Amino acid sequence: MVSNHDVVISFVPPTMHMPVAKSCLKNGKHLTTSSYISPEMEALDADVKKKGLIFLNESGLDPGIDIMSTIKVLDEAKHHGWKIVAYESYCGGLPVAEQADNPLGYKFSWNPGAAIKASKNKSIFLKNKKRMEVDEPLKCVEDRDDISVAMKLEVYPNRNSLTFMDKWKMNDCETFIRGTIRFKGFSYIISAFHDLGLTSDLPVPSGVKTLRDLAESRLKDACPSKAHPLAAEALNQVMMGVDKDDEVFIKKFLSKVDLSYMK
């Protein structure tokens, strides 16, 4: 298939790009993906250039549109002789407000598992000249009322921002953050699910058929003192409209969450 075409657009899961890339290199074909550049992809750079090919990665929404708009602003600043000392870029595939009708205020337009997993990635960024490393970015969420007067939005840091600061030669920046934007409420619910082990990659125990079953099984291993202060409320919202047995379960869950550390 690759040999019969001039350009390949690879929309397979990120872990499966490399066989496609190697086939493109072997057959002398151009390649584009919307994924972050992996170390394995970067290792092909010299060979790709040697063959006069273009392997264009990071060309989706985020990364992609944000990068192109950033470079546009950066080039304009250089043209005027301006110095950029702070950079913040927030992206997110938000549903239109009137259809953000679930507790997350979000609808998955891509792999839900990958979207949830991305929120677990360690974040590294620069804020007021200080390098910040955050293991749980959803607990580093900030409400932003300066983006829209009509919508309640929140932002949190996404992955390692500093690799882009180096690539774009923006080392004069005292603040450099690439992050994710969501409607308010998304972060505490997903963070609660992380704390409770509901988003764990571990196999689902046998006999588990419902969200309540899964939560109950994960609670046995969850550390109550670590549980998100709003975990019970988060679980309650997502299970809204469930039957009486579920209400009993939620009350039981409430009794197991230690909120004393909030005092």
Angle at 139 between CA 137 and CA 142, to 5 degrees: 90
* Strand, helix or coil for residue 42: helix
pTM of the model: 0.74
Burial of 125 (0-12, 13-18, 19+ CB in 10 A): buried
Q: Are 145 and 223 in contact (CB under 8 A)?
A: no
Weakest mean pLDDT among 76-80, 87-91, 188-192: 188-192
The number of distinct structural domains making up the chain is 3
148 lies in the same domain as 99: yes
Single out the catalytic residue among 62, 101, 143, 246: 62
Q: How far is CA 72 from CA 50, 84, 100, 180, 202, in A?
A: 28, 13, 31, 20, 43
Distance between CA atoms of 60 and 37, rounded to whole angstroms? Answer: 12
Q: Are 178 and 161 in contact (CB under 8 A)?
A: yes
Backbone φ/ψ region at 46: left (φ over 0), alpha (ψ -120 to 50), beta: alpha
- Residue 246's domain comprises 190-262
74 lies in the same domain as 178: yes
pLDDT category at 252 given cuts 50, 70, 90 is low
Distance between CA atoms of 192 and 237, rounded to whole angstroms? Answer: 12
- Structure-model confidence comparison of residues 257 and 218, the more confident one: 218
Distance between CA atoms of 9 and 224, rounded to whole angstroms? Answer: 46
| Residue 52 scores a pLDDT above 80 | yes
Please name which of 119, 118, 93, 117 lies closest in space to residue 107, comparing C-alpha atoms.
Answer: 93
Backbone φ/ψ region at 128: left (φ over 0), alpha (ψ -120 to 50), beta: left
At 173-185, the pLDDT tens digits run 999 999 999 998 8
Q: Is 62 a catalytic residue?
A: yes
- Structure-model confidence comparison of residues 80 and 223, the more confident one: 80
Q: What does the pLDDT read at residue 212?
A: 66
74 lies in the same domain as 166: yes
155 lies in the same domain as 74: yes
CATH code, domain with 176: 3.30.360.10
241 lies in the same domain as 216: yes
Copy the structure tokens of residue 84: 């950029």
Phi, psi of 136 (to 5 degrees): -125, 85
Which domain-ending residue is among 184, 218, 251? 184
Q: At what angle do helices 211-219 and 244-256 cross, to 10 degrees?
A: 20
pLDDT category at 261 given cuts 50, 70, 90 is very low
195 lies in the same domain as 156: no
Copy the structure tokens of residue 115: 């979207």
At 90-121, the pLDDT tens digits run 988 889 888 888 778 898 887 788 888 888 88
44 lies in the same domain as 72: no
Phi, psi of 142 (to 5 degrees): -125, 135
| Residue 41 scores a pLDDT above 90 | yes
171 lies in the same domain as 73: yes
